[in-house]
Structure formats: structure tokens, C-alpha cells
Homo-oligomer: A and B are copies of this chain.
Amino acid sequence: MTRRFIVVGRAATAGGDFLLDDLPGTSGRLDVLIRCVRPAFLTSHGIRRDVVVYLVLLGGARAPRVVRIEGADVKFLRPDERAVATLVKKVLASHSDDVGLGFVLVKPGISVARGGLDLALEDAHGSSSPLFVLEEGASDLRDAKELGSACFVIGDHLGLPEDARRRLAALGARPVSIGPISLHADDVVTIVNNELDRAENGGGAPKPD
């Protein structure tokens, strides 16, 4: 079962033209998306091979772009924010404007494509896997069914654009929330992964002897 996260950055720059020393101030808050990568893939003892992340970049002159990271193939993923930002910067810089449509593999497990949320949804969602959208005040993730192989769409600090909401509603995306207090996108990824870990392992933590 593959877990998929689509994180939408309303102003996150698609051009790779940001400063590593001032990520929040120069990237349209791409840092919010960058921080989702570590909890999506890294555990204490390894890497989640069953996760795919889509960073949807809707800001800057070259927008829209989607960066896709596949846990099955990705290499050299480090936990610190600067390392992930460096990786994404290189990936974006390597993607020239004259390539065709569809995802282009740039590094092991990391691809980039021209397109926005629709492209990510088409690639991620397929026809059968359940689609969830994170929303403040929606029903509890802990009560959700069919979490296996689900796709989760998460907004950035500005929330999802209105046209994205409409598109997701039309696709039958189910609104869920992660608790009574709204959290940053990366915390949402952490909590969703934890819930899916529990669902796949029969509920909670192992009982002590």
C-alpha cells in the first residue's frame, strides 16, 4: 500500500530562485513544503519506501511545477531543512522550460513536471484510491475508513486555493482534520503517517510484556 501526500504551495516558487540562507523570505514560503519531506519519509531507523510526495509549486515565473519524490527509489535524503532545500533547488534548476509534458526524472526517485494540482492528482490518485483533503474543523482522521493507499491533499500556511477546493470536492475528496488545533503542513504529515502506521499495525503501540 502506497501513501501519497500532495502539498500545495500557493506562492511557493517553481523556479529554484531562492536563497538557502533565507528560505522563508525568498521562496514564497517554499520552506513550508520543504519541511514536509522529512516526516513524510524518514523514521528513526530508516526510510518509508511506501510514500510518494508531490510538492505543487504555484508561485514564480515558471509556475506551475510539481516535484515528485518517491520513497521507493530516493537516495541520500537527509533530515535537515537546508539539505532538502538544496536538493529541491537543484531539481528545479535542472528542469528546463523546453522539456515536454509529464514527469522527468532528475535524480533517483525525484522527478519534476510542468503542471499544478491536477497533474499531481492524476498521477497520485488514480481511479480507485481514497482521496482525503485536510480541513480545519472537518471530521476526525481517527474515524476515517480506508486509510490504506490513500492520497492526502494538504494546503500551505495560506490554505488551499478556492479552485483547488472546488476541484477536490468534484472528485469526491473527503475532508478530514487532525485534531482540535490547526497545525503546520509538516505536523499534519507526521500525524497522518502515525495514524496510518497504527492502522497497518492493528491499532496502537505494541503492548509491553
Contact = CB atoms under 8 A, between A and B. Distances in A.
B82 A140 contact: no
Nearest to A178: B194
A198 to B, nearest CB: 5
Interface residues of A, number: 52
B143 A204 contact: yes
A178 B44 CA distance: 12
Given A24-B80, A79-B24, A43 B182 contact: yes
Interface stretch (A104-112, A113-121, A184-192): A184-192
Given A43-B183, A177-B205, A206-B180, A24 B78 contact: yes
B80 A23 contact: yes
Judged by DSSP, the binding face of A is mixed
A184 B23 contact: no
Contact of A205 (B23, B137, B208): B137
A138 B31 contact: no
Interface in A23-44: 23-24, 31-32, 35, 38-39, 42-44
A45 interface: yes
A2 B80 CA distance: 29
A201 interface: yes
A141 interface: yes
Given A24-B83, A81-B81, A140-B205, 18 more contacts: A24-B79, A32-B79, A35-B80, A38-B184, A39-B183, A43-B182, A43-B183, A43-B184, A44-B181, A44-B182, A45-B182, A139-B207, A179-B204, A179-B205, A181-B197, A183-B194, A187-B190, A187-B194
Interface of A: 20-21, 23-24, 31-32, 35, 38-39, 42-45, 78-83, 136-143, 157, 175-184, 186-187, 190-191, 194, 197-198, 200-201, 204-208
